[in-house]
Structure 1
């Protein structure tokens, strides 16, 4: 099939990682695939281009930009697009407008989060207006589907669930050699217990609660450090938070990295403190690394982390509960190791890239009823 994916950009993030992996798998399976970015191409675009997969940028300006719509239309038409697959609200209604009248066989939209904005707003109004030209809307977890349908974001009859998947080939589990490497990177003794998280430094990931929780952990376990992998607008605010909590020397900000898989393999414990989440790619990758996990019970997290089976679930915005769960994991090391092995086994069965790509292919042919 000729498939066009439309995104805002390909900067680092869970949505963008999923799109790149899905596009790569579809290309490997023989489909003719391209990615159209509404705004800039983004830092990860070269991953696709070195594989011969085109990435087009429309360089959209703020507000309605007719020139960008025209460029998107040109890219979609030149590709002889049969399947138009958009990601999140803005990319969807812009692509629907750009492709009007082309007679595209399947128009599919994936909503990657839980729709954190509770007020409808202009974006959601425009998204709803595009539903008449949409065949299927995909939620990435059952919790997101129920929430979106309940709030009237899209009709139940056009909605299904396709869980995200990740590449497992070559994804090693956590090991002593990688722990040693990470310890050297952050300049701590090799026996230090390293707690880590991956994600954009923004309000949705609530790393401030994680830092406050880590202060309590550090009080009980002096052999621990916290590593934050990712960057974002709250970087300096979070640095100040660590300083205010008196643990600045034990909290390491590694910034935006292209070796996240390797860094995960050096952790002892993975923590996700989000206040809102769809179907977290970071959690899937932590499972693939065989790590015990502590995560907040929001969005689709409970569909990945099974409490007291592959990790612990705690309420969001609850630093004491987060700290208690982390301390429990650090003290009960044998149980934590068993959780990590169970997490790896689960993701091999349920969270592979191949399984996700197969579900989308069936969806492109209109087989909605066969999806989970």
Structure 2
């Protein structure tokens, strides 16, 4: 097979789940013999260097606020360089900008992936532009069944189909957490060897609701003094979250460690993973926690219920329910065998269902206009 030209258009390549998914998808596509490029509507972002080092071309339009005709001309010029390519856009703004720039150009297929659950305001101008552009798109893909169903309710109507392709991750980057990894990380943070590390990974913004996790952890630590909290990530709320930690008197047992490029090592040092988000699509962070063999406490939003099965590999709680979050964490801290069983169940499941290679295979079929390979929907079996 000669392979095909695939143009990925993103807002940027900042560090995050969407961007990591695109990079892993490109790796699988290039291994299959396809030629890939990335165009960023805004700035390149931190992860652009990773693709450039692999020989993948990355261009940036440096779009300004509002309708930026100069950015649109740049984008059209780059799209014109590869006639007959597959245009794969990611999220709303990148999609309608790319589709406008591509008007009249010969493309093999147009595919858009929405990596979350869509906007909180479906009647906004941005979403109206997105729905209009979807009518001239071959396929719109949600990253979970819940997202696909929501877009259908919001009258997103692509030409050929609206479907779900779950995200996948590079499973080879993650190994089950070992006691030695946990002791090493505890020592690095200046904590006792018997510390039980509760952790989370994500941007520090209101949607991820790390503030609720800090509040719940305060209750957990009051009854489980060996518990510790690690929050991996950075963002606009860092100062606010640090203030919450300080006011609660948790500065010796809770740590904001900032943005990290070695997330697998941090996951290997944790015993429990928490994701208190108020909204999620199909969370890369949860897939990575499963791959690290961690039991999970997550909010029952978006696609979380398609990854976390109650009582099997973790617990699901209502968004914003700090008491339920604290209780679920306390149960895992106080029952190491339950935590081990649930962590193993999650890892078993993600090894079957969470590979980026499976994700790439499904997209490849979509690019070719073929039926998608089936994915198992039975989920996980209960831990023994």
TM-score by length of 2: 0.94
Q: Match for 1:20 among 7, 18, 23?
A: 23
Contact 2:83 2:105 in 1 (8 A): no
Does 2:206 match 1:198? no
| Alpha-carbon distance in 1 for matches of 2:248, 2:278 | 21
Alignment of 1:125-204 (within 5 A): 125-154=128-157, 158-204=161-207
Alignment of 1:1-372 (within 5 A): 1-154=4-157, 158-368=161-371
| Alpha-carbon distance in 2 for matches of 1:84, 1:245 | 50
Contact 2:216 2:322 in 1 (8 A): yes
Contact 2:227 2:333 in 1 (8 A): no
Misfit runs of 4+, over 3 Å? 153-157, 368-372
Residue 369 of structure 1, CA deviation: 5.8
Q: Deviations over 1:184-236 (max 9, x none)?
A: 22111121111000000001101111110000000001111110000011111
| Alpha-carbon distance in 1 for matches of 2:119, 2:330 | 30
Question: 2:174 aligns to what SS in structure 1?
Answer: coil
Count of aligned positions:
372
| Alpha-carbon distance in 2 for matches of 1:85, 1:239 | 39
TM-score by length of 1: 0.97
Residue 27 of structure 1, CA deviation: 1.0
Residue 246 of structure 1, CA deviation: 2.6
Contact 2:308 2:316 in 1 (8 A): yes
Question: 1:300 aligns to what SS in structure 2?
Answer: helix
Unaligned ranges ≥5, structure 1: none
Q: Deviations over 1:262-299 (max 9, x none)?
A: 11011010000001000000000000000111111110
| Alpha-carbon distance in 1 for matches of 2:34, 2:374 | 21
Residue 145 of structure 1, CA deviation: 1.0
